[in-house]
A = this chain, B = another copy of it.
Amino acid sequence: MKIDFHPIGLIHTPYTKTEDMPIQPAGAAGVRGTVEVFEEYRAGLRDLDGFSHIILLYYFHGSHSFDLSVVPFMDSVPRGLFATRAPKRPNPIGLSVVQLDKIQDGVLYIQNVDILNGTPLLDIKPYVPEFDAPVEVRTGWLEKTKKTVSSRKSDDRFK
């Protein structure tokens, strides 16, 4: 089975190379970007401005291979790929929950952006804690280091 997707927009951010980027929205507090939704899809944006946060699904367009074992930015030992958020994946789909400030002329003004400039947008979903945020959560190998995400940056390992 082959699944064909196509961009519905483009994400514009201050990050033009994969190095020295924040590695999660939590590490990108206050960083602003825009999402340009292509004209034919803009009617689907109605009512979205009521939500303070949205889920962006996008295509890691720089990712053309993957390894099932990776040393993630947040650790120094190899981890199983699916236990990490590394961008090089069998289906390189990125997911970021970002703050939505306003929508104007089909452009979403967003904050807390950890995404490479020019990234193709695949989908937008409203973020709803009752759907998306379980309570009583364990986070495995990330327990020790996840609080440091805001001070960490990417390097060239997933180039």
Contact A48 B95 (CB under 8 A): no
Contact A93 B68 (CB under 8 A): no
Contact B50 A85 (CB under 8 A): no
Give chain B residues whose Cβ lies under 8 Å from the Cβ of A146.
Answer: 128, 130-131
Majority secondary structure of chain A interface residues (helix, strand, loop or mixed): mixed
Known A-B contacts A69-B43, A83-B45, A95-B55; the reply to A137 vs B126 at CB < 8 A is: no
Known A-B contacts A6-B1, A83-B45; the reply to A147 vs B130 at CB < 8 A is: yes
Q: How far is the CA of A130 from the CA of B81 in the complex (A)?
A: 19
Confirm or deny: A156 has a beta carbon within 8 angstroms of a beta carbon on chain B: no
Could you say which of B41, B131, B139 contacts A26, with CB atoms under 8 Å apart? B131
| Residues of chain A in range 134-154 having any CB-CB distance to chain B below 8 Å | 134, 136-143, 146-147, 149
